[in-house]
Amino acid sequence: MSKLKLTGKQIRAIGYPEGPVISVAMHTMSAHFKHHTEEAALQILKEVLASPENYLENEVLVKIAEKLVPAASSKTSLLVELGEACPYTVFGANLIEDGAIQQMEIASRLPVSVAGALMPDAHQGYGLPIGGVLATNNAIIPYAVGVDIGCRMCLSIFNLPATDLEKKASFFKRELIAHTLFGAGRDFSGNALNGGLTEHEVIDRKEFKEIAFLTGLQTKAARQLGSSGSGNHFVEFGEVAITDPGNPFGLAPGKYIGLLSHSGSRGLGANIANHYTRIAMEKTILPKEAKHLAWMSLDSEEGMEYWLAMNLAGDYASACHHTIHKKIAKAVGEQPVTVVENHHNFAWKEILGGAEGKGKEVIVHRKGATPAGKDVLGIIPGSMTAPGFIVKGKGEPASINSASHGAGRKMSRTKALENITHQSLNKVLKEYGVTLVGGGLDEAPFAYKDIREVMQSQQCLVDVLGEFYPKIVQMDGTDPRKKRSPFKPLKEVQEGE
């Protein structure tokens, strides 16, 4: 007799509510009833669902029953009031809107908050402001990570003369278009568009089988691997200027060709963010102004599930970048001499304060912030005409080892669409010698802060090793006024960061 393999879909079909109980039921039945038929196993689950209180003393089925006892959710929900603010530091306060600072103030008053920081590119988002860093005590906040989990930068530097970007512009533009795919919800399924589906070990990760909620996302993740979304996501060729003779890449100061990408975990990360934010908001009831900062304890099953799912999404985002870079490197016929990459929508377990391991372990959320621990490498982009920066972290405690993740918006997307014209965008692109494929007025350079002012405000956080100047930029070409994302968080507009 084959071993029992129930799916989350089957368990939901008999009336089980969405949530951790699905995963618990799957594990329990496969571990303890593996020789039962599907019909018999589902009948047992129906009986537990009908009278969960009758199974609280059953050593096997108790874990399922505990999650089904009437009013259990209200008993385990935590009604929380905000307290005194934990310490937090604002970098580049003159560049930051009041709304972002107010959001940071609210986040600092959570009982689980230990320390915070606000980067000079910060602007208002949902929950934690974009550009916000928050360290918590054994608590994970999905909306302090962000909707696009694992959104990241990746730069490949090729030992090719930068002048080739102008001499062979049509070649680089053609290969960029051929090996990238942009747009909300788009994937490689059904045909060989842009190279077709790509196999990668991340799609076979055990989390897709062990966490019931993720099972239904595996196929879509496979189809979207190697693609980019919309908003400010891009893949671009540009000129890399290495300025530091002591750089860790072993490159002589000079100009090289670089390939820079910015995107995240696509539908996988968005679904994870929405699902676990809802769970967190059910378990942790906060005042209205702080409701998006609901957390889960890492000691809880839901919290650990999110932690595992978040790390899967981060690894998936990394795999997407590596797939893009591998395809384009093959097309160019040159292997990169070095690759620099980093997340900027993620959470890490780190030691805060103290020396020689004597500090306290905390969960550091960086929502639109670049890790900048001592000697940690990263990329801080500008805009489609402004330079990006290759940086090395200084490990500044006041920033919780962080730096900005870009220039940061100074216009909302709506405001940009109302105030920027195609004529003005085309003029500035020509002025800087940039070819734009796709893109929109909501991503025009005028919508962003001055990246050099931002970098000036964080000289104490990072050292600059080199700069990246965009030359051929590929972005989503969909009219932003017509975009309808299938992953709107909690019925709200995605942040697109």
The residues that bridge with 379 in the sheet, in sequence order, are 390
pLDDT band at residue 487 under the 50/70/90 scheme: very low
pLDDT digits (tens, 9 = 90+) for 258-273: 999 999 999 999 999 9
pLDDT band at residue 491 under the 50/70/90 scheme: very low
pLDDT of 401 reads 98
pLDDT of 462 reads 98
For helices 20-32 and 301-332, what crossing angle results, to 10°? 90
pLDDT of 20 reads 86
| Residue matched to tokens 């005194």 | 84
d(CA 13, CA 32): 21
pLDDT of 463 reads 96
Q: Which of 145, 364, 147, 390 is nearest to 258 (CA)?
A: 390
What average pLDDT does the segment 125-134 reach? 94
What average pLDDT does the segment 377-396 reach? 97
Q: Is the pLDDT of residue 484 over 50?
A: no
Which residues, 6+ apart, have CB-to-CB distance to 418 below 8 Å? none
CA atoms within 13 A on the CB side of 103: 26
Of all residues in the chain, what percent carry a pLDDT higher than 90?
73
d(CA 480, CA 414): 9
In terms of Cβ atoms closer than 10 Å to its own Cβ (0-12, 13-18, 19+), residue 136 is buried
What average pLDDT does the segment 151-166 reach? 96
What average pLDDT does the segment 141-154 reach? 97
What pTM did the predictor assign? 0.82
Q: Is the pLDDT of residue 196 over 80?
A: no
pLDDT of 89 reads 98
Rounded to the nearest integer, the mean pLDDT of the chain is 90
pLDDT digits (tens, 9 = 90+) for 3-40: 788 898 899 888 888 888 998 999 898 888 888 899 98
The larger pLDDT score, comparing residue 65 to residue 93, is at 93
Q: Is the pLDDT of residue 379 over 70?
A: yes
d(CA 54, CA 463): 63
Domain ranges for the chain: 8-73, 152-266+292-340+370-491
- Which segment of 196-200, 355-359, 473-477 scores lowest on mean pLDDT? 355-359
What average pLDDT does the segment 472-485 reach? 74
pLDDT of 357 reads 58
Does the domain formed by 152-266+292-340+370-491 have CATH 3.90.1860.10? yes
Of all residues in the chain, what percent carry a pLDDT higher than 70?
92
What average pLDDT does the segment 195-202 reach? 82
d(CA 121, CA 404): 6
What average pLDDT does the segment 294-315 reach? 97
Q: Is the pLDDT of residue 490 over 90?
A: no
What average pLDDT does the segment 63-71 reach? 75
Q: Cβ of 425: how many Cβ atoms within 10 Å? A: 20
- Which segment of 51-60, 129-138, 429-438 scores lowest on mean pLDDT? 51-60
Q: Is the pLDDT of residue 480 over 80?
A: no
pLDDT digits (tens, 9 = 90+) for 219-249: 999 999 999 999 999 999 999 999 888 889 9
What average pLDDT does the segment 384-390 reach? 97
| Residue matched to tokens 């196929």 | 219
pLDDT of 81 reads 92
